[in-house]
Each structure stands twice: as structure tokens, then as C-alpha cells.
Amino acid sequence: MSELFDAVDALLASRAKLPLPAERKRLRAAHGLTIDEVATALKVRRATVSGWESGKTEPRPPERDAYARLLDKLAELYPAEATAPIQDAAESATFTTAPAPAKAQTLSTGQAPDAADMTVTENIQAPASAPVAAAPAAAPHPAHTTRPTSSTSRRPSAKKTAAAPAPAGEIDPRFENGPLAVVDVEGGKVLAYCVGGLVLEVPAKSLPSLVDWTLKEAKLGQPKLSGPGKPADPLIVLTEAALERYGLPVALTEEERHAGRIPEGHKVVKQLARAQWKLTKRGFGPWARIYRPAQGSERACVQLCIPSWNALDTRHWGHAGQLPPAELARVLGAYASRVMTPRGSTAVTGLELMTALHPPTYAVRDEETGLLRQADDKTPGSLGKDPVDPAPCEAPDGHPVLKDLPRFHVRGPGEKLFEEAYDWARPMTDEECLRRNLVGLDVNMAFAAGANGLNVGLGEATHVTNPAFDAKLPGSWLVDLSHVDMSKVKAGKEWVELDGSLLPSPFTPKGERPEGPAWYATPTVAYAVELGYEVRPIEAWVRYENGRYLDGWYNRLRDAYLATMADLGVDAGLAPADFLAAMDGYKERDRELAVVVSAIKATVKGGLGKLRERPRGEGWRPGEPWRALSRPTWRPDIRAAVISRTRINLHRKIIKHAAFTGQYPVAILSDCVVYAVNGESPLDFLPYREGKPLPGGFKLGINPGLVKHEGTQSVLWGEEVRDRFNAPELNLARYIKDGTVTDVDNGE
């Protein structure tokens, strides 16, 4: 009989009622228990308990009964203000398809600045074309209900779908509503659309009170990306209706667009000043930052994004600025969770990501006051908090280190480092003219791949004369590479003979052979050695303090790109033919996620470009410093090294391909290379043996550094375009994608 009772007890335990995941975490935290302590007591792994608290998995007997007993006892000790919803044992907490819209529920967070209730409505129904749990789902316009304000904050019963969810059990309660909100006005109510379909009713009646509400009630923001870093400030996106509600212009005048801000005398700017809020030096523009000076470790800062003021550049964000609020929240939320909360343009965000991953300093406790302060020394592996001057050869024209040069002096290769991407083309041979098509290959995330594993300088440059070249030492080298002959080079351990007249030089952006000593970044000189030639630098500016500063930056952006492309149906493990098929029309599968892909790629290029940002007006004159020079991240030498390595990576593939197939490119533009072939697809001329690509050559795939099909046009099209514009060396790589020729630069 006892065996029967035991069996009945086990059956009952298998259906033990459990509170929802959020309540499980609350009860554990209320008793001061760690996940490890619970896991040890129940004899399970830490990740198992994390999965139970996040709702990704459900406990099974015999652990389920013990876990339910623990939660019941904790609930007796720490009762909630209202009874926690109970999840039926048969109900799965992990959605495999998008669930039906949840009913409107109220989330009360206490009295806001305007003493009104705050309503939350949640809907996690994703568009039919969106992959499951790929990115925050756009919610349709919700119905709103309100209930009396409760003193205890409650989450809605349905979980938000996250683009890149935090590790199980690691969601920061300070930012439980996500990194950002799109504020709109509907039916007289101000609504904040957050990621995952969450909608908050905003009580603020003025912009200063909106800032207060954001910091005190909205629970918006993003955890820090690195140990010594700081959390991301909340981002508020204002629609046109919200701008009107808060007294801001829907569009900027021509004068305001030129200035990049509204006047300091605007009534809203005065409202902020009266409320003791400050603006950064850039003023109230498309990406305004509103803050109060930090008190100890407490920050008070809100970022505004105003799409109708061109905050979301259409070159990088496509149609995002015209999206409805819920869909815009989905796009920006996906980008924020995978890259970081936008801090401005994609270029600004790319630079800020570098700093967020390698903060210049860290916090220490002052022994006298007991308060936290910044350490005097810099964080290991960072660029530090103080800017450093570039070497004279690395400085762009007009930089203060060049102020002693004669006026109108033009620096040549022996005075100026000129590492730029390829822009090279040549006339086609008679044999190539008889082929049918021109096929373009584009390197995925080429500049990100160039940054991966690259050793760059972290401090000041040291000048040396007649140095021995060291490929591991980042810097700039004055060396004569004119003796490197592309007709005979080393490919691995073997010397190979090539038609050098059909190849660009790897040492100059235009592909021209150097004529004498010139300045080069370390990767360029190292490639000359790799090709089998001796180098003897005349002088150099080298950085003995160095490291792989960009590795974390590359990894973050690579993962963001691959995850978003996977959501669009392009996986990293696809076979070549399947990959080309998946890439065909991938943007139409989810146009919003395609915008995220575009923004990620723009973040790479823009972030690297910001490393050598030029003056932006403001009355600057040659020889005077400009604003960007005050940043420790103004590092033209790092930008030059990345571009150098990217160009060399592409040239190495071209050499491998030429040595094996006898095929040579007819045009190269940055990360795109064009070949004249008889087929229409890359598979028609790329050498694959038993499904495996040529080692060191071009490989089809979505990973950074691999290639995709850029476009195919006929050889007749190429010759006709060149004849029409009387430009036999017109760079056809510029137009290979769709064949449209909008502007022509024949080099004159």
C-alpha cells in the first residue's frame, strides 16, 4: 500500500503549481538566496535554475516538488501585495510560435511627476514573416485599461520577446522595460512603445517631466557591456505627434538644419534650464543628450532621438524613420540589444561601442572620503582618457602638428601615410572581351574582418631611424617597396609566376606600383615580406604599447550581423548553392530586420571613419585643433591599420585565385572585385573541389571575410558604358550591382 501512496504522491508532485518565472526570481531574491545556493540544494546545475526563473524551461519531478515546496515557503515569508499569477503545470513557458495577443494589463510604478497612473499593454505577436524570437515584435495599436495605482510594481504575465535576451536570471530590474521607447500620442494619450510589444502610458505633460519620468519610472536602459563600464542611458524616440505635444517643431528650418540644433532661446530649451537640466555642447539637435552632473556613481542622463529631424539617416536606416511607433521600437530595439543603445548616428555609435567595451578608466573608492572616483591610471587594453598626438606622417592636412609646414605645401607619399581602400580598374584584354559576363564578388563585413585580431597601438608613437622591421609592432614605416614585382611572388612556401600587368599593386589604393620610399602601416609592409621580398625601413613611428583593442568590437558586431542575417534566413553553415539562394531577396523577408543589417554594417564603416574625423565647420582654420582631437579615440593610425589589413586580405585572395585559375580581376572598389567570366554565378568560376573552396581564396558564405554575389552584368554592358563615357578604365565595380550608371568619374 505504501508503494501506491508513494506513486500517488509522485503523481501529485508532477503537477505541482508554480508561480510565474518573474515571481520565482522575486521570492529567491527576497530571501537573499543566490542561484548557486538554490541549485546546490536541489542538486541541479546553475543554468537549470536560471532557466526556471527565465521561463525557458520547467522543472520536472523529482526536482519540481522540491522547488515548489521551496517557493511555497518563501511565499509565506514574503507575500506579494497581490497574489502572483499561477502558471498551470501543463503550460509551457517557452513559446515555439508567436502567441496570441495578451490582454491589456496595468503596470503601476508609483506616482510620476504629473501624479497620473501609468498603463502598460503588452502584445508579443510577431509579424508572420519574422522568425521566432528573432527581434522585438511590433505590436498593433493596443487597447488601454487602467486600474488604481498599486504600491508594488508588477510585470505583465506574458514575457517580452527580446532580440538578444540577457542570460537567464541576469535581467537587470532597473532596465526591465528594455533599452528604449518610442513616444507617440494616440487619442489624447501619450504612449511609450518599448521593445517586445510593451506599451506604457506616459503621464508627463512637458519635456522636463518626460525626462524625470524616464529616469524614475520607465525602467529603461541597458546594462554595461564590460566590467569597468557604465550602463547605457535610456533612449527616448519622439514621433511628430510627440514633438507637437511637447512644444517642439516637427521639422527643422534650413538654418536649424545647418546649425544642427534648435536655438538656445527656444521655449523648450528654457524649460529644461529652469528644471536644472543641461544639454551637451551640441545643443538640442536630432540626437540631444539631456543630463544633470553625476552625483558620485549616480548618473542622470537621457538620450533623445528625433527621426523627423533626420536623426535616422536614410543611407543607413532606410525607411526606419517612417515606421509606426511599435515597428520602430522593434528595429531600434533589435539594434540596441545586439549592438548597443544608439548614441547618435551609426558612426557615433560605432565609436561609442569601442569605448563601452574598453572604458578608458575604472572606479576606485577614495580612502579619505569613501566615495567612488575615477582611477588615475587607465584600464588595461584601453586607449586611456587622454588624447595622444599622431605621428606627423599620420596626421591629416591641417592638423596642429603640421602647422609649421609652408602654406599650400602638398605632402607626397614620403611625407604622408595614405592607407585607403581600393579604387582600381584596368581595360579588359581581348580574351576577356570575348567572355559573356562580368561577375562581382563582395566581401562581407570586410572592414570588420580587417579589424579582427589586429594589433594596434594603445599609446603614443616613438620615432626610430633605420629600424629592423617587426611585423608585430604597430606603427607607420617609411620604406621603399618599388622593387616588389607582382609577376613573381611567394604563395605560401612556393614561388609563383603571374601576369603582373593584370594585377593591382597591393601597396597603393589606385593599384599603381610605388615609385620610391613611402609611408605604410605595419600590415602593408608585412605583406611585402610575405610575398618574398626584403624590406629596409628608413624610419618609423612605432607604438610599443599595443594590443588587440578592436577584438571585442569586432566580435560584438559580427555576432549582431550573423544573428540578424540568420533571422532573415541566411545561416552561417549553408552550402555555397544554398547560400546564394538564401541571399536572393533576403531583404524582402523582413524589411525591418533588413534595416538592422544595414545599420550594423554602417556602424562598422562609420565607427572606423570616426577614428580620423575631420573638422566640421565651426570656424576652423588649418593649424588649429578641432573638436574631435580632444577624444582619446581620435586615432588615425588605427583606422589606417584596419584599412591596410582589409586591402591586403583582399589582395591575398586575388593572388591565390590567379595562381590557381589564371583569372584576374578587371575592377576593384573597396570590398568588391569583378571578374570577366563565361558564367553568371560565382559558382561558375570559383574553384570548389568536392564542395571545399580553394584554401586562402574566395569562399562563399555569410561570415565576415567570406564573399557573396554582388551582381552580374554582361561584358557588352561594361564595354558600352566605358565607350559611352570615353573611360577605358572606368571602375565597373561601382555599378555592377544593378547596372545603373548614375555618375561617372573617369579620373580627370
pLDDT of residue 372: 65
Mean pLDDT of the chain: 85
Query: Does the structure show a pLDDT above 80 at 105?
Result: no
CA atoms within 13 Å, Cβ hemisphere of 258: 5
What pLDDT score was predicted for residue 203?
96
Dihedral, CA of residue 155, residue 160, residue 164 and residue 165, to nearest 10: 40
Task: Report pLDDT digits (tens) over 397-408.
Answer: 999 999 999 988
Q: What is the pLDDT of residue 748?
A: 37
In the structure grid, which three cell numbers stand for residue 347, read together? 558612426
In order of their start, the domains of the chain are: 2-87 (1.10.260), 120-341 (no CATH)
**Which residue did the predictor score with more confidence, 494 or 595?**
595
Contacts of 499 by beta carbon, 8 Å cutoff, 6+ apart: 487, 658, 664
Q: Which amino acid is residue 122, in one-letter code?
A: E
Residue 41 has pLDDT above 50, yes or no: yes
Which one is predicted more confidently, 112 or 432?
432
Which single residue is written with the C-alpha cell 521566432? 132
Confidence (pLDDT) at 371: 66
Question: If you write DSSP's letter for every residue of 527-545 in order, what string do you get?
Answer: HHHHTT-----SEEEE-SS
Question: Residue 262 CA to chain centroid, in angstroms?
Answer: 29
What pLDDT is attached to residue 73? 84
- For 447-498, the pLDDT digits (tens) are 999 999 999 999 999 999 999 999 999 999 999 999 999 999 998 788 999 9
Burial of 417 (0-12, 13-18, 19+ CB in 10 A): buried
Is the CB of residue 641 less than 8 Å from the CB of residue 548? no
Residue range 47-77, pLDDT digits in tens: 788 888 887 788 887 888 888 889 888 888 7
Q: For a pLDDT cut of 90, what percent of the chain falls above it?
A: 67
Average pLDDT over residues 223-230: 87
What digits encode the pLDDT tens for the residues 679-715? Answer: 999 999 999 877 789 999 999 999 999 999 999 999 9
d(Cα 203, Cα 215) in Å, to the nearest integer?
13
State how beta strands 372-374 and 437-443 pair: unpaired
Q: Is 394 exposed, middle or buried (0-12, 13-18, 19+ CB in 10 A)?
A: buried
